[in-house]
A and B are shown apart, each in its own frame.
Chain A
């Protein structure tokens, strides 16, 4: 599928990706694997590493796009020990599967990434928090962690220095909210995974009240190549000025070749769909896409040529999120699609704060009525108000949840009205 298409672009994270085969430690080392940590341990201070990561302009790949180097720097010099690294492999954003592909392709890339992160945060314990649906990946990781330990890359006095680091794989019980940093830390401590508003920030008081740096799988995997090739190299990988590095774009829905593609940051949406994902099926026209998972706004036809980079999308009032592009064609009912997304959010709301707990099912109910021909004209205003006020929820879940609804009301309001006026779903009627 994916690996055959884009030889034109450098493959950094997928350098060792092979069809139906997991890269072994030998495969990984053949291509320069574990050289970065060697370099780090023998020649760089933890501050040096932080500086390189910061200079590389590596932004968090989990969706929030927080600068990875900046996060490392928020661990105070005099912060207590032991410190923790958490790798967020709880990839639960609907439409997102890039981390799964990455973990199955090259597990040692993640292990080395965690080592670099740990070295720069002076952490000695790493935890990979993985969703239970990825049991297969969890087993791969456990196996490869043991192999890395045997090879001397994990454990005490790594590569003969005084740096020690171990990695545990923690399987989640499975809930979307566990992907949220503070909720994930609660989950790791055996508490209910409700988010907890900072301060204190996890880098100050995280796991067991100790400094904890949490990063997404893909973010961590970017670190070894950055160390090996330098910050400038990484920045230059992007096609846009604002971007840096390559990005794993997961594309699904109405395309001929759904899959995960490593492309330079800032590649255009049209190119991803047409060139890499094999275009849209016969008879399908691009209507909209979600650019980065369920909690982003729809990109309509007007944005078809948009460079897909955190900054460019932000400037257009959108979010790149996890870069999980879900493509909808003209035959898809946007009300029904949004209803599906809302049903997801209503089911996954953790129930901590009122707007999210009660507002998401409320919106789901309104959309369900509209979709099923029971919509009333005043629903549109109620929806708009609900969307607006869900931004006042406790964490970022609810603002994410209403993003597609806002997109629906902004770009497809006529479709909503058509449902209400015709007292049925026009897409069902035309079937």
Chain B
């Protein structure tokens, strides 16, 4: 699908972010090899892709968990309890900001305002928004995702 779009495009570099996103979707993150694969698809030098991959928030050059939690730390969420929620999440997952749980399920990352200030405090998990959050709601969400993961992962 994407390769068709690339072929049809007069300017393949316009699709470079989409391609990186798709490759990331497939491999979980943009390893060096994944980046090279994406580069080959759009006919650009790997360096040119790395210039972008290291620029954007939602392209990951390091391994991330199955669920990437982006917890909003901008001013409204901060005012509405970002710090205690962050501490709660860290404690609950047993990781610090920027880390991934040992079971590979969750990665915790900060993110700037995600545009859910009317539902703050808010977070994104795999680009899906949740808010307004409380510790209890977070526990619930994590539990749901854990069981979802357990169901879809062949044991």
Contacts and interface: CB of A to CB of B under 8 A. Distances in A.
A156 B15 CA distance: 23
Contacts of A251: 118
A71 B55 CA distance: 30
Contacts of A133: 70, 111, 114-115, 124, 127, 129
Of the four ranges (under 10, 10 to 19, 20 to 34, 35 or more), the interface on chain B belongs to 35 or more
Interface stretch (B73-81, B84-92, B93-101, B140-148): B73-81
- What is the interface of chain A mostly: helix, strand, loop, or mixed? mixed
Interface string B109-130: 0011111111110001001110
A95 B75 contact: yes
Contacts of B112: 92, 94, 176, 344, 347-348
B57 A175 contact: yes
Contacts of A100: 115-116
Interface string A140-181: 000000000000000000000000000000111111100000
A192 B51 contact: yes
Interface in B42-82: 42, 44, 48, 51-52, 55-59, 70, 73-76, 78-79
B21 A340 contact: no
A76 interface: no
A187 interface: yes
B133 interface: no
Interface stretch (A9-17, A253-261, A312-320): A253-261
Of the four ranges (under 10, 10 to 19, 20 to 34, 35 or more), the interface on chain A belongs to 35 or more
A208 interface: yes
B11 interface: yes
Contacts of A348: 112
Contact of B113 (A92, A170, A253): A92
A254 B115 CA distance: 17
A79 B16 CA distance: 28
A189 B13 CA distance: 6
B14 interface: yes
B17 interface: yes
A54 to B, nearest CB: 30
Interface stretch (A223-231, A324-332, A414-422): A324-332
A188 B129 contact: no
B20 interface: yes
Contacts of A208: 10-11
B58 A174 contact: yes
Contacts of B115: 91-92, 96-97, 99-100, 131, 133-134
A229 to B, nearest CB: 29
A344 B113 contact: yes
Given A136-B129, A260-B118, 10 more contacts: A1-B118, A92-B113, A95-B117, A133-B70, A173-B17, A173-B52, A173-B56, A193-B55, A326-B75, A341-B75
26 contacts: A1-B118, A94-B117, A131-B115, A132-B58, A133-B124, A136-B128, A172-B56, A173-B20, A173-B55, A173-B56, A174-B58, A175-B55, A176-B112, A190-B13, A190-B42, A250-B118, A252-B117, A252-B118, A253-B79, A258-B117, A260-B118, A294-B74, A340-B73, A340-B74, A340-B75, A344-B113
